[in-house]
Structure 1
Amino acid sequence: MFKIGEFSKLTQVSVRMLRYYDETGLLKPAEVNKYTGYRMYSSKQIPTLNKILFLRDTGFTVLEIDNALKHWDADYIEKQLKIKEKETEENINLENQKLSKIRTAMSDINKKQIAIHCNATLKSIPSYEVLSLRKIIPNYFCEGNLWKELCDYIRTEKLNISENNYSFAIYHDKEYKDKDVDVEVCIISNQKGINRGNFTFHKTEPLEKVACSMVYGTYENISPTYKSFVHWLEENNQYEITGISRQVCHKGPWNESDPNKYLTEIQIPVKSREKL
């Protein structure tokens, strides 16, 4: 048996952490001296300690570690690791987005371009016959998965629809959402077909008047352009928003290798305010 200090030195785990694992119930001492109160540890506890350290270093919380120790078998641990792998990938994507925003901001500060002004034009949008795919997706950055699914469906079903046809995305939520967003991707189709699941042939609503703004460059420029519509609507207060927005990607990864040359069109339906 080893005193806590000895066990700490031999296992390379601090006394503070060993006491913490005791308090949380992850690793209780093998015994506690009833006269001195000293925590005593056994070499038989090292495999459990190694499991705790492994799970801690892969991002598991105390509760998750406790559950894993209680259900320690290959199938359960593999399932939990896959869940943690997905969470880690999502966190990496979020951190990369933050890094990209930081670098963009630094570049904009140097160029004195941090304020983006909206040059909106007004036009009408006709009704289109489309094949569309509408789903609730985790966030706006997952929209590309919908486009891939739609294109794969066109190829699998051998539909006479060119992937180069005019296409656009409709954002059905009336407000911005951080997750679980309702997005529909549409591609113009000159043929009718049978609706299957979320894949539907239908006619989109015509829009009498939309405020449109072109976004040049990477997709990171889209968010500040939306914000710039606030200034445009204040300056043109005879208009108010009357519907859900659309986006048309004229140049993207499929037809332009340089992200700085991407071209996205934001379309926001508006109407004239009623005169009092």
Structure 2
Amino acid sequence: MLNIGDFARLGGISVRMLRHYDAIGLLVPASVDPRSGYRRYDVAQLARLNRILALKDLGFTLDAVRSIVDEEVGSAELRGMLRLRQTELTAQVEADRERLARVERRLRTIEMEGHMSELEFQRKSLPAVRLAELHETVASVDEVGAVVGPLFDRLFTTMGRLGVTPGEPGVAAYDGSDEGIVAIAGVPYDGPPVDGLEVRELSAEADAVTVMHLGSMETIGDAWQALVRHVEDAGLELSGPCREVYHATPMDDPDSWVTELQQPVR
């Protein structure tokens, strides 16, 4: 089961919109705590969310989306619908290009659902990591990419100004909550306190599921969804903030990036 923040992060949607979908009966949480009101979602509900967002980006109204997903449209049929709209979008004006990119990403995620076994997942412990870091809270995973890169740039600029050498590899951590996603960008740091330098320690984790993502950040969301499905299939639960460890980041070749996804579990 996932809290609303983690479900929003994995699905690429804001917490506010998830609450709206709950209110109109389009995507209802698997359970709601009667005392706290906290919403919890099943990992299997990501498949429904993927279809809702894909159809919404195709221009369907929410009422039409509900009718289609309630009829359990298959991946093959939905793929056909997406590809048809993709052809139409290419003929539209420049303002529609961002919508086309969202359709392509959602299509790729839906296709990934049947290929999870191609990834090599590992179970291992995670060491404690002391980071020099900067962080920011965002409403949805769509905002993460626009935030994390600049956070690293600002961090490196700050460390350079302070005469502190950044450690390696870079680490990003994400913590979902009802308010959104806290995105942390950091590098290992074992030096003394320095005025103007924020330091945070990610605690050691006794058990985690990890997988290597090879390629650009544009497709990393697919790997995260596959990892969480693997966790669910293994009878495990998410436990604590997830991490991305950037083992190779050639800035002139984003398709050659090597990123390790790390999710603590219990």
- TM-score class, shorter: 0.5 to 0.7
The alignment-based identity, stated in percent, is: 17
Aligned to 2:248: 251
What residue in structure 2 maps to residue 242 of structure 1?
Answer: 239
* Correspondence for 1:167: 170
Residues 220 and 95 of structure 1, relative CA distance in 2, 3 Å threshold: farther
Query: Secondary structure, in 3 states, of the residue corresponding to 1:156?
Result: helix
Residues 103, 235 of structure 1: CA spacing in aligned structure 2 closer, same or farther, 3 A cutoff?
closer
1:208 equivalenced with 2:206 (yes/no)? yes
CA–CA distance in structure 2, aligned partners of residues 268 and 241 of structure 1: 7
Output one character per residue of 1:74-131: Cα deviation in whole Å (capped at 9) or x when no partner: xxxxxxxxxxxxxxxxxxx99655433545678999xx86744143101111112321
CA separation of 1:122 and 1:165: change in aligned 2, threshold 3 A:
same
State which structure, 1 or 2, has the greater radius of gyration over its C-alpha atoms. 1
Residues 113, 231 of structure 1: alpha-carbon distance in 2 compared, 3 angstrom cutoff? closer
8 Å Cα contact 1:174-1:244 kept in structure 2: no
Task: Select the structure with the greater relative contact order (CA < 8 A; seq sep ≥ 6).
Answer: 2
Q: 1:209 to 1:106 in 2, by over 3 A?
A: closer
Q: How far apart, CA to CA, are the structure 2 residues paired with 1:107 and 1:230? A: 17
TM-score (normalised: structure 1): 0.52
* Count of residues paired in the alignment: 168
Partner of 1:188: 188
Classify 1:121/1:195 alpha carbon distance in 2 versus 1 (closer, same or farther; 3 Å): farther
- What's the TM-score, normalizing by structure 2? 0.54
Unaligned ranges ≥5, structure 1: 1-92, 272-276
Distance in 2 between residues matched to 1:249 and 1:147, nearest whole Å: 12
User: Judging changes above 3 Å, is the alpha-carbon distance between structure 1 residues 96 and 116 closer, same or farther for their aligned structure 2 residues?
Assistant: farther
Q: Which runs of 5+ in 2 are unaligned?
A: 1-93
Change (3 A) 1:165 1:171: same
2:157 to 152, 157, 166: 152
Alignment-mate amino acid for residue 236 of structure 1: A
Q: Report the CA distance between 1:148 and its aligned residue.
A: 0.4
> 1:71-82 alignment to 2 at 5 Å?
none
Measure the CA separation in 2 of the matches of 1:191 and 1:127: 15
What's 1:140 paired with?
A: 144
